[in-house]
Amino acid sequence: MTSTRSGAAIVSVVSNSVLIVLKLTAGLITGSIAILTEAVHSAIDLIASIVALYSIRKADEPADEDHPYGHEKAENVAAGAEAMLILLGATIVVIEAIRRLFTGSEINEVGLGIVLIAISIVANFVVSTFLYRRARTFDSPALEGDAAHLRADALTSIAVLVGLVLVEVTGIAAFDSIAALVVAAAIVGTGVGLAMRSGRVLMDEAPPEEELDRIEEAIAAARPPEMAGYHKLRARKAGSRRHIDLHVQFRSGTSLEEAHDLTHALRDAIAAQFDNADVLIHVEPEGSYRPPDAQGPLRSG
């Protein structure tokens, strides 16, 4: 099950469910606002994991009449939704932590809270590491977002653990609320970063320069003598799929059948550079007119 994207997402759902119970129990026993906000954080992570699972299954659906380019961007939409949930969680943490700082609070059974939070830290690091590896394997934005959630949860749990230790050592309950505010700051950083990454894909931002270099290297390696040049090379990403298109010019005397076969070979060479790529090539005769491109500079060769 864990060898598929959906299987990895299910692992995250189960993990978050267990952590919610663990943290909620610890928070109610100790009365720690930091632990209770961590439980809220895990609850938001659970919702995000469910969203990620749905988006992965949606992204795997084939193209249809209403979505001729496929459903891969469902993963990027899910990552953006996860970012909003992370920021919502941070807001809840800040409000409650500030309230506790002004009104005061009492922490009980600190030792038990320390043990349970330590267990959750280990669990989150293990599961988030697994999800990051699966995200790289499948090039999945949804799994990356899920992994980011859990890794942020692990790091914020460390802040909570430090706060509880300080409460135990000094007897000052305010350290609990201070730890919760540190948690909120870390959550905000994770949420903003995830939102920016998903937004760039949804806006069809160009891929990194190294990816365009790989495309040009594939073109150079597979370039037939009949090919006079190319222009308007551009690429974008949707989920784990890359969409690449360019215009290719063929020398005078090249038959339509030859140009067709050579174009297919060139398309296959470009697609082979990536695990999941859709390559579209427009064929032109050498010396054909190229109108000015209002979209900005595009690569040519």
pLDDT score of 293 more than 60: no
Does residue 146 lie within any of the structural domains?
A: yes
pLDDT in tens, 146-164: 787 778 778 777 877 888 8
Residue 254 lies in a domain: yes
Q: Examine the domain organization and report whether 216 and 190 are in the same domain.
A: no
178 shares a domain with 231: no
Write the DSSP string, the chain: -TTSHHHHHHHHHHHHHHHHHHHHHHHHHH--HHHHHHHHHHHHHHHHHHHHHHHHHHHTSPP-SS-TT-STTHHHHHHHHHHHHHHHHHHHHHHHHHHHHHH------HHHHHHHHHHHHHHHHHHHHHHHHHHHHHT-HHHHHHHHHHHHHHHHHHHHHHHHHHHHHH--THHHHHHHHHHHHHHHHHHHHHHHHHHHHHTTPPPPHHHHHHHHHHHHHH--TTEEEEEEEEEEEETTEEEEEEEEEE-TT--HHHHHHHHHHHHHHHHTTSSSEEEEEEEEETT------TT---B--
Q: Is the pLDDT of residue 255 over 80?
A: yes
- Range 272-277 average pLDDT: 84
Q: What is the pLDDT of residue 296?
A: 47
Q: What angle do CA 281, 201, 185 make, to 5 degrees?
A: 165
Percent of the chain's residues with pLDDT above 70: 93
Which tens digits make up the pLDDT trace of 135-145? 888 777 777 77
pLDDT of amino acid 1: 53
Number of independent structural domains in the chain: 2
184 in any annotated domain: yes
Residues 131 and 214 grouped into a single domain: no
CA distances from 135 to 41, 113, 146, 164, 202 (A): 21, 32, 9, 33, 18
Regarding whether 258 and 274 lie in a shared domain, the answer is: yes
The phi-psi region of residue 70 (left if phi > 0; otherwise alpha if psi is between -120 and 50; otherwise beta) is left
Domain that holds residue 251: 209-285
Q: Are residues 55 and 80 in the same domain?
A: yes
Mean pLDDT of the region 260-282: 89
Shared domain check, 222 and 187: no
Relative to beta strand 227-238, strand 241-250 is antiparallel
Answer yes or no: is pLDDT of 209 > 50: yes
pTM reported for the whole predicted model: 0.57
Boundary (domain end) residue, out of 202, 226, 258: 202
Where does the pLDDT of residue 299 fall: very low under 50, low under 70, confident under 90, or very high at 90 and above?
A: low
Task: Return mean pLDDT, the chain.
Answer: 80
Same structural domain, 142 and 280: no
